[in-house]
Amino acid sequence: MKLFKWLYKTRTAKQNNNSNLENNSSKVIDKIPKVKNKTQDLWNVWNFEYQIYGLSQIARGLYDIHNVGKVHKDFHSGNILFNSIPYISDLGMCQPVNESKQSEGIYGVLPYIAPEVLRGYQYVKASDIYSFGIVMNEYLSEKIPYCNVPHDDILAVKICKGLRPKIANETPNLLSDLIKKCLDAKVGNRPTAKELYQTLEKLSNEQLNPNSDIYAQIEECKRIRANMFQNESNEISECLDTQISEDISF
Protein backbone atom coordinates (compact mmCIF):
# COMPACT_ATOMS: atom_id res chain seq x y z
CA MET A 1 0.00 0.00 0.00
CA LYS A 2 1.36 3.40 -0.86
CA LEU A 3 1.93 5.86 1.94
CA PHE A 4 -0.17 8.97 2.22
CA LYS A 5 1.66 11.04 -0.34
CA TRP A 6 -0.26 14.20 0.44
CA LEU A 7 0.00 14.17 4.22
CA TYR A 8 1.79 17.05 5.84
CA LYS A 9 2.61 17.74 9.42
CA THR A 10 3.48 21.02 11.07
CA ARG A 11 5.63 21.57 14.12
CA THR A 12 4.10 24.88 15.06
CA ALA A 13 0.33 24.64 14.45
CA LYS A 14 -1.59 25.16 17.67
CA GLN A 15 -5.24 24.68 18.50
CA ASN A 16 -7.10 27.97 18.92
CA ASN A 17 -10.44 27.95 20.72
CA ASN A 18 -10.87 24.26 19.82
CA SER A 19 -11.05 25.21 16.15
CA ASN A 20 -9.22 23.33 13.41
CA LEU A 21 -8.37 26.43 11.41
CA GLU A 22 -4.73 27.24 10.93
CA ASN A 23 -4.11 30.65 12.48
CA ASN A 24 -0.34 30.89 12.40
CA SER A 25 1.07 32.13 9.11
CA SER A 26 4.59 31.00 10.00
CA LYS A 27 4.63 27.23 9.52
CA VAL A 28 7.37 24.68 9.37
CA ILE A 29 5.99 21.97 7.10
CA ASP A 30 7.64 18.64 6.42
CA LYS A 31 6.64 16.07 3.84
CA ILE A 32 6.47 12.59 5.25
CA PRO A 33 9.81 11.06 4.23
CA LYS A 34 10.03 8.49 1.48
CA VAL A 35 10.33 4.99 2.89
CA LYS A 36 12.34 2.44 0.92
CA ASN A 37 11.10 -0.62 2.76
CA LYS A 38 7.57 -1.53 3.75
CA THR A 39 7.04 -1.65 7.48
CA GLN A 40 3.88 -3.03 9.03
CA ASP A 41 4.42 -0.75 12.03
CA LEU A 42 4.17 2.33 9.81
CA TRP A 43 1.13 0.93 8.05
CA ASN A 44 -0.59 0.32 11.38
CA VAL A 45 -0.29 4.02 12.23
CA TRP A 46 -2.47 5.06 9.31
CA ASN A 47 -5.51 2.89 10.02
CA PHE A 48 -9.20 3.44 9.51
CA GLU A 49 -9.70 4.53 13.10
CA TYR A 50 -7.25 7.41 12.69
CA GLN A 51 -8.48 8.20 9.19
CA ILE A 52 -12.12 8.58 10.21
CA TYR A 53 -11.17 10.68 13.21
CA GLY A 54 -8.90 12.83 11.04
CA LEU A 55 -11.64 13.35 8.46
CA SER A 56 -14.09 14.34 11.17
CA GLN A 57 -11.66 17.01 12.36
CA ILE A 58 -11.09 18.32 8.82
CA ALA A 59 -14.88 18.51 8.42
CA ARG A 60 -15.00 20.37 11.72
CA GLY A 61 -12.54 22.92 10.37
CA LEU A 62 -14.58 23.38 7.20
CA TYR A 63 -17.72 23.76 9.29
CA ASP A 64 -15.97 26.49 11.30
CA ILE A 65 -15.25 28.36 8.06
CA HIS A 66 -18.79 27.99 6.73
CA ASN A 67 -20.32 28.80 10.11
CA VAL A 68 -18.87 32.32 9.97
CA GLY A 69 -20.30 32.84 6.50
CA LYS A 70 -17.17 32.20 4.45
CA VAL A 71 -15.98 29.75 1.80
CA HIS A 72 -12.41 28.47 1.44
CA LYS A 73 -12.22 28.44 -2.39
CA ASP A 74 -8.89 26.55 -2.58
CA PHE A 75 -9.60 23.42 -0.55
CA HIS A 76 -7.28 20.56 -1.46
CA SER A 77 -5.06 18.01 0.28
CA GLY A 78 -1.96 20.19 0.14
CA ASN A 79 -3.76 22.69 2.36
CA ILE A 80 -4.32 20.22 5.18
CA LEU A 81 -1.69 20.43 7.93
CA PHE A 82 -1.19 17.78 10.57
CA ASN A 83 -0.04 18.12 14.16
CA SER A 84 -1.95 16.12 16.76
CA ILE A 85 -5.07 16.93 14.74
CA PRO A 86 -5.53 18.20 11.16
CA TYR A 87 -5.75 21.91 10.37
CA ILE A 88 -7.05 23.67 7.28
CA SER A 89 -4.50 26.17 6.01
CA ASP A 90 -4.03 28.70 3.19
CA LEU A 91 -7.07 30.86 3.78
CA GLY A 92 -5.85 33.52 1.37
CA MET A 93 -8.68 32.82 -1.08
CA CYS A 94 -11.29 32.67 1.69
CA GLN A 95 -14.14 35.15 1.22
CA PRO A 96 -17.73 35.80 2.34
CA VAL A 97 -20.13 33.31 0.78
CA ASN A 98 -22.30 36.13 -0.58
CA GLU A 99 -19.36 37.92 -2.19
CA SER A 100 -20.62 38.93 -5.62
CA LYS A 101 -17.30 40.03 -7.08
CA GLN A 102 -15.92 37.35 -9.39
CA SER A 103 -12.22 37.17 -10.12
CA GLU A 104 -11.17 36.65 -13.70
CA GLY A 105 -10.51 33.03 -14.57
CA ILE A 106 -10.47 30.00 -12.29
CA TYR A 107 -7.90 29.53 -9.56
CA GLY A 108 -7.04 26.29 -7.77
CA VAL A 109 -5.88 22.71 -8.18
CA LEU A 110 -7.98 21.32 -11.02
CA PRO A 111 -8.82 17.84 -9.61
CA TYR A 112 -10.41 19.44 -6.53
CA ILE A 113 -12.46 22.14 -8.30
CA ALA A 114 -16.22 21.55 -8.37
CA PRO A 115 -17.84 21.18 -11.81
CA GLU A 116 -20.12 24.18 -11.33
CA VAL A 117 -17.06 26.36 -10.71
CA LEU A 118 -15.41 24.99 -13.85
CA ARG A 119 -18.54 26.01 -15.74
CA GLY A 120 -18.12 29.57 -14.52
CA TYR A 121 -20.76 29.69 -11.79
CA GLN A 122 -20.17 31.41 -8.46
CA TYR A 123 -18.24 29.51 -5.81
CA VAL A 124 -20.56 28.47 -2.96
CA LYS A 125 -20.26 26.43 0.24
CA ALA A 126 -21.25 23.28 -1.64
CA SER A 127 -18.20 23.79 -3.87
CA ASP A 128 -16.02 23.35 -0.78
CA ILE A 129 -17.99 20.18 0.00
CA TYR A 130 -17.14 18.77 -3.43
CA SER A 131 -13.47 19.48 -2.74
CA PHE A 132 -13.81 17.76 0.63
CA GLY A 133 -15.16 14.67 -1.13
CA ILE A 134 -12.09 14.55 -3.37
CA VAL A 135 -9.81 14.95 -0.34
CA MET A 136 -11.74 12.31 1.60
CA ASN A 137 -11.40 9.78 -1.20
CA GLU A 138 -7.71 10.60 -1.58
CA TYR A 139 -7.17 10.18 2.16
CA LEU A 140 -8.89 6.78 2.28
CA SER A 141 -7.60 5.36 -1.01
CA GLU A 142 -4.09 6.90 -0.78
CA LYS A 143 -4.37 7.73 -4.47
CA ILE A 144 -3.82 11.26 -5.75
CA PRO A 145 -6.81 12.14 -7.98
CA TYR A 146 -6.21 12.05 -11.73
CA CYS A 147 -2.51 11.50 -11.07
CA ASN A 148 -1.60 10.09 -14.45
CA VAL A 149 -3.53 12.42 -16.74
CA PRO A 150 -2.77 16.02 -17.77
CA HIS A 151 -4.55 18.67 -15.74
CA ASP A 152 -5.92 20.50 -18.75
CA ASP A 153 -9.15 21.57 -20.42
CA ILE A 154 -9.86 17.98 -21.48
CA LEU A 155 -9.88 16.85 -17.85
CA ALA A 156 -12.03 19.86 -16.90
CA VAL A 157 -14.62 18.95 -19.53
CA LYS A 158 -14.66 15.32 -18.36
CA ILE A 159 -15.21 16.43 -14.76
CA CYS A 160 -18.11 18.62 -15.89
CA LYS A 161 -19.55 15.59 -17.70
CA GLY A 162 -19.38 13.43 -14.57
CA LEU A 163 -15.86 12.02 -14.30
CA ARG A 164 -14.87 11.35 -10.69
CA PRO A 165 -11.89 9.59 -9.05
CA LYS A 166 -12.41 5.89 -8.46
CA ILE A 167 -13.44 4.97 -4.93
CA ALA A 168 -11.24 2.13 -3.70
CA ASN A 169 -12.88 -1.25 -3.12
CA GLU A 170 -11.45 -1.33 0.39
CA THR A 171 -13.47 1.72 1.43
CA PRO A 172 -16.24 1.02 3.97
CA ASN A 173 -19.67 1.49 2.37
CA LEU A 174 -20.74 4.13 4.87
CA LEU A 175 -17.73 6.23 3.85
CA SER A 176 -17.98 5.58 0.10
CA ASP A 177 -21.64 6.62 0.19
CA LEU A 178 -20.64 9.87 1.90
CA ILE A 179 -17.96 10.52 -0.72
CA LYS A 180 -20.51 10.03 -3.51
CA LYS A 181 -22.86 12.53 -1.88
CA CYS A 182 -20.08 15.10 -1.65
CA LEU A 183 -19.23 14.59 -5.33
CA ASP A 184 -22.81 14.80 -6.58
CA ALA A 185 -23.08 16.98 -9.68
CA LYS A 186 -26.16 18.67 -8.20
CA VAL A 187 -25.08 21.23 -5.63
CA GLY A 188 -28.28 20.79 -3.60
CA ASN A 189 -27.66 17.05 -3.12
CA ARG A 190 -24.37 17.53 -1.30
CA PRO A 191 -24.31 17.51 2.50
CA THR A 192 -23.52 20.66 4.43
CA ALA A 193 -20.27 20.97 6.36
CA LYS A 194 -22.26 20.58 9.57
CA GLU A 195 -23.85 17.36 8.32
CA LEU A 196 -20.43 16.10 7.21
CA TYR A 197 -18.92 16.79 10.60
CA GLN A 198 -21.83 15.22 12.50
CA THR A 199 -21.82 12.10 10.31
CA LEU A 200 -18.06 11.56 10.53
CA GLU A 201 -18.00 12.27 14.26
CA LYS A 202 -20.75 9.69 14.75
CA LEU A 203 -18.83 7.11 12.71
CA SER A 204 -15.65 7.93 14.61
CA ASN A 205 -17.43 7.35 17.92
CA GLU A 206 -19.02 4.09 16.72
CA GLN A 207 -16.06 2.53 14.95
CA LEU A 208 -14.80 0.66 18.02
CA ASN A 209 -18.24 -0.72 18.89
CA PRO A 210 -18.36 -4.36 17.70
CA ASN A 211 -22.13 -4.08 17.26
CA SER A 212 -21.99 -1.13 14.86
CA ASP A 213 -22.21 -1.29 11.07
CA ILE A 214 -19.06 0.78 10.63
CA TYR A 215 -17.08 -1.62 12.83
CA ALA A 216 -18.07 -4.62 10.69
CA GLN A 217 -17.29 -2.73 7.48
CA ILE A 218 -13.90 -1.61 8.78
CA GLU A 219 -12.93 -5.14 9.79
CA GLU A 220 -13.75 -6.44 6.30
CA CYS A 221 -11.87 -3.61 4.63
CA LYS A 222 -8.87 -4.17 6.90
CA ARG A 223 -8.60 -7.71 5.53
CA ILE A 224 -8.68 -6.35 1.99
CA ARG A 225 -6.05 -3.74 2.83
CA ALA A 226 -3.78 -6.31 4.45
CA ASN A 227 -3.75 -8.38 1.26
CA MET A 228 -3.08 -5.31 -0.86
CA PHE A 229 -0.26 -4.23 1.43
CA GLN A 230 1.53 -7.51 0.85
CA ASN A 231 1.17 -7.35 -2.93
CA GLU A 232 1.54 -3.71 -3.91
CA SER A 233 4.82 -2.04 -4.77
CA ASN A 234 6.20 0.49 -2.30
CA GLU A 235 7.13 2.90 -5.07
CA ILE A 236 5.84 6.36 -4.15
CA SER A 237 4.52 8.63 -6.89
CA GLU A 238 5.91 12.13 -7.27
CA CYS A 239 2.48 13.49 -8.22
CA LEU A 240 2.30 15.67 -5.11
CA ASP A 241 4.93 17.96 -6.60
CA THR A 242 2.44 18.96 -9.31
CA GLN A 243 -0.23 20.03 -6.83
CA ILE A 244 0.30 23.78 -6.92
CA SER A 245 -2.61 26.20 -7.09
CA GLU A 246 -2.45 28.26 -10.24
CA ASP A 247 -4.53 30.31 -12.61
CA ILE A 248 -6.33 27.96 -14.97
CA SER A 249 -7.27 29.09 -18.46
CA PHE A 250 -8.95 27.06 -21.17
Active site residues: 74
Residues 6 or more apart from 17 whose CB is under 8 A from it?
none
Asked if 134 and 165 count as a contact pair (C-beta separation under 8 A), the reply is yes
Contacts of the segment 39-46: beta carbons below 8 A, 24+ positions apart:
40/229, 42/3, 43/1, 43/229, 46/3, 46/4
Asked if 70 and 21 count as a contact pair (C-beta separation under 8 A), the reply is no
- Of 76, 146, 160, whose CA–CA distance to 115 is shortest? 160
SS3 108: strand
